[in-house]
Each structure stands twice: as C-alpha cells, then as structure tokens.
Amino acid sequence: MDAHVLAAYGLEPQRFDVRPFGCGHINKTYLATDRAGGAHYILQRINTHVFKQPQVIARNHRMAGDYLARTQPDYLFPRIIPTIAGDDLYRDGVSYWRLTPYVPYTVALNEATSPKQAFEAAKQFGRLARLTAEIDLSDFQPTIPNFHNLALRFESFERVVDSADEARKQKAAGLIEAMLAGASIVETYVALVAEGGLPDRLMHHDAKINNVLLHQNTFEGVCVIDLDTLMPGKIFSDVGDMVRTYVCPVSEEERDVTRVVVRDAYFAALMDGYLSEMRGVLTALERELLFYAGELMIYMQALRFLTDYLAGDVYYPVTYETHNLDRARNQWALLTELRRQSQLLRKIIRECL
C-alpha cells in the first residue's frame, strides 16, 4: 500500500504502522495504527471484480449513516471517513480505497462457539434492521445486482448442467438430481416475488458472525461491520444466512458430511436474538417465512457451489478439483438436516415469536 493513500485522508504516513487485518476474502483490509498512540483506522481496498460500482457501496453506506445519525445518534454505526477532498472513496488510479474507524476492545469471530455469541450477533443484525425499518429506500441501489435472486441462480444452474464437462457432470450426478428434485424452494421464491407481499428492507446480505463486532471480554454485541452489501432486500436474506452459518458446528469447507448437523440451541439463540429486535416489526408473512429463510439461503449456496463446479470453478477460489462439489454436498447435507428437524425448529420459532 502506497503512502499517498493515507495522505489522501490527511494522515501522515510516517506516523502509521499499516498491516493486513482480518480474514476477509473479498476486499483487502488493513489496520492503520498511529505509533504515537492516537487513533486507529480500518483501511480497505475494494475488490472491483466483485463490486463493479464501488461508488454505490459508498453511497449506500453514507445514506444509511446519515439516516442513523439523525434518528439514532447513540447507535454505533462505523461511518465512512471522507478524504480531505470530501470524497467517500479515494481512487489511486487503479484501486478504490475506503477508511472507517477502528472499534477498540472488540473481536470478530469466524464461527459461533456458544449460543450466547449467536444470540448477540443476531441481535445486532436485528437492531440494524429495526432502526432502519422506516428509511426511504428509493435512492439505495444494489451493490451486486440480483445477489439473492434465487430464480436467476437456478436458471444459471440449469444452463450450466446442459453445457458442463461430462466428467464433472458424472461426478456430480447424484447432487444434480437432488438439487433438481428440491426445486420447490425456487417455486416458492418465484411465487413470493410475483405476489409482491414481502416488504423491502435495508438488509446486510452477508449476516455471518464475523460481520459483527463483539466485546472482546463479554462477547456482547457492539456493532455490525462490512457493509458492502447493505442494500434493499427481503427478510430471508439476513435470517437465512444466519441459519446457514450459525447452526452448524463445522464450516462449508468440511468434507465429512456426517459432521454437518443442526444445533437447535444455536438456532433458538439466533432466532431469539434477531426477534428480540424485530418481533414487533415483521409482517405476518415475514413471520411465516422464518423457517423457509434458512431453506432458501442454504439451498441457494449449494446451488452456487454446484454451478461453479460444473462451470469449471470460475468464481470461488479452490484448492483441489472437487472443492466446490464438496462445498455443495456440505450445504445439501445441512439443508437435509434442517428439514429433518423441521418440526422442532418451527416450534422454536413460534416460541421466540
């Protein structure tokens, strides 16, 4: 990273130690530490291969921050720090850079290791949704168009099945058949969109636990971070992604699918945390779809991994030939477990509501 990036923000480069920070896979993130004991900052280079219009990210971020500053001045929302020229982003000719405050005494966990952590993280996503429930979404734009459009994801899957390499298609034959047999999830999504009864909300769209800062000692929720995909969406985007990533003790990288299980205590904790904020905000239809949210997001991620495998691994980084296929099998196993425990999990939702 060149010194002129810091200088663009009015920071003296010689005063700062800059080192890579966190474990995000999309943007390049750095922690800039003032050697004299002053402020710390998070500096990010935005990945323009994923985010084609970085200005849209910055604009959505700024509009949300401005709204919350007016309506909820005590709420911690890490706002973009402008350059000395007054811009939301700095462009060095090749890359776009963003500066935000560093929040001290916090940690971002890669996985939930206790129901309390799941509760606190989900509560933070619920709080952001509740506090922005009345925001005017008309000027917000998608940072990744059709990001959670299941119908388009399924169409892409069908196309790639027709054109895929035969060897890969044979290896994935069983899973392809299972995904096609599970397409009722897509049919439900299409019907919901066509009926138009689901409200648009300002959703995070990447509600993994590492996108929440927790207090480093108490693990109480502090704030939501990584707002690149903050944009209008439906309730299932955030709720479903929490179910997908909080309830299983192993990640989507686990190749032994016998270890893929649904921890009902974590499911209860995340639902209780989210609904502690959103219980009075959700519509009747949104309440009915809380279990389906998990089905949709897990199915869609399995679909995306399988599509990428059949397409020749063009999107997700892989380290071995069947990496994406194994990820897809992992997610299908998780969906199977979620459905197997449907009765219990729906009872948990009713109790949390």
In the chain, where are the structural domains located? 3-102, 115-352
- CB–CB of 286/275 below 8 Å? no
**Strand 212-215 versus strand 221-224 pairing type:** antiparallel
- Identify whether the C-beta of residue 124 lies closer than 8 Å to the C-beta of residue 212: yes
- Which residues, in sequence order, are CB contacts of 341 under 8 Å at separation 6+? 262, 264
State the average pLDDT for the chain: 94
Beta bridge pairs of residue 106 = 215
- Residue-wise pLDDT tens digits, 208-227: 999 999 999 999 999 999 99
Assess whether the region 3-102 and the region 115-352 belong to the same CATH fold.
Answer: no
Could you report the per-residue pLDDT of 261-303, keeping only the tens digit for each? Answer: 999 999 999 999 999 999 999 999 999 999 999 999 999 999 9
Cβ count near 333 (within 10 Å): 20
For the segment(s) 3-102, the CATH number from 3.40.630.30, 3.30.200.20, 3.60.20.30, 3.40.800.10 is 3.30.200.20
Q: What secondary structure does DSSP assign to 144-176, as a single string?
A: STTTT-HHHHHHHHHHHHHHS-HHHHHHTHHHH
State the Cα–Cα distance between residues 309 and 90, nearest whole angstrom. Answer: 36
Mention every residue, 6+ apart, whose C-beta is less than 8 A from residue 284.
Answer: none
Count the neighbouring beta carbons within 10 Å of the beta carbon of residue 274. 30
Number of H helices, E strands in the chain: 13, 10
Residues 44, 5: Cα–Cα separation, whole Å: 10
Determine whether 280 is exposed, middle or buried from the number of CB atoms within 10 Å of its CB (0-12, 13-18, 19+).
exposed
Q: Model confidence over 134-157: pLDDT tens digits? A: 999 999 999 999 999 999 999 999
- pTM exceeds cut of 0.85: yes
% of the chain surpassing 70 pLDDT: 99
What architecture does CATH give domain 115-352?
Alpha-Beta Complex (3.90)
